[in-house]
Amino acid sequence: MPLTNILLILLIVLAVAAVVAVVFLVRLFVQLRTTAAEAEKTLVEVRVLAGHLSELDLEIKARVEELGDTLRVSRKAAGGLSEAAMLVSSKLLPAPAKFLPFVLPVARFVFRQMKKKKENHHVE
């Protein structure tokens, strides 16, 4: 009889272990199904965002090309202005006029200082 009790207890323990294992597996499968559904939603969102990203990439490339054209035109205009300035400074203006870019800022500074002295003298 003691052997039968031991077998009965062992059978009950195995049955409880089997029930626990089945409950664990059921919960695991439910969690996996939920995770798979969330993964599908995320994948759809990623595809939409990837589409938006490719549209942005195309727009940026178009803007960069426009900017390149603008820079080319600006470079050409700057070259023309440089040539015109060289022509004016070398051919049309006399030699002393070449120093005007240095003399004019100094003269403006001196006139401003004189004006400030006059204003300070009248205020006092």
Q: Write down the pTM of the prediction.
A: 0.45
Together in a domain, 87 and 123 = no
What is the residue type of 3?
L
Together in a domain, 63 and 120 = no
pLDDT computed for residue 124 by the predictor: 57
What is the residue type of 58?
L
For 89, residues 6+ apart whose C-beta sits below 8 A from its C-beta are: 97, 98
Q: How many domains does the chain have?
A: 2
Together in a domain, 48 and 87 = yes
Together in a domain, 24 and 80 = yes
How many CA atoms lie less than 13 Å away from 32 in the CB half-sphere?
6
Together in a domain, 74 and 123 = no
pLDDT computed for residue 122 by the predictor: 65
pLDDT computed for residue 41 by the predictor: 96
Q: Look up tokens 């006059």; give the residue.
A: 118
Together in a domain, 63 and 74 = yes
Q: How is residue 110 written in tokens? A: 């001196």
Together in a domain, 46 and 99 = no
pLDDT computed for residue 93 by the predictor: 65
Instruction: Please check whether residue 54 is in contact with residue 63, taking contact to mean a CB–CB distance below 8 angstroms.
Output: no
The residue segments making up the domain with residue 113 are: 95-124
pLDDT computed for residue 5 by the predictor: 87
The parts of the chain modelled with pLDDT lower than 70 are 1, 88-89, 92-98, 121-124
The DSSP-derived string for 95-121 is GGGGGHHHHHHHHHHHHHHHHHHHHHH
Together in a domain, 46 and 86 = yes
pLDDT computed for residue 42 by the predictor: 96
How many CA atoms lie less than 13 Å away from 40 in the CB half-sphere?
5
| 94 torsion bin: left (phi>0), alpha (psi -120 to 50), beta (else) | beta
Q: How is residue 54 written in tokens? A: 């490719």
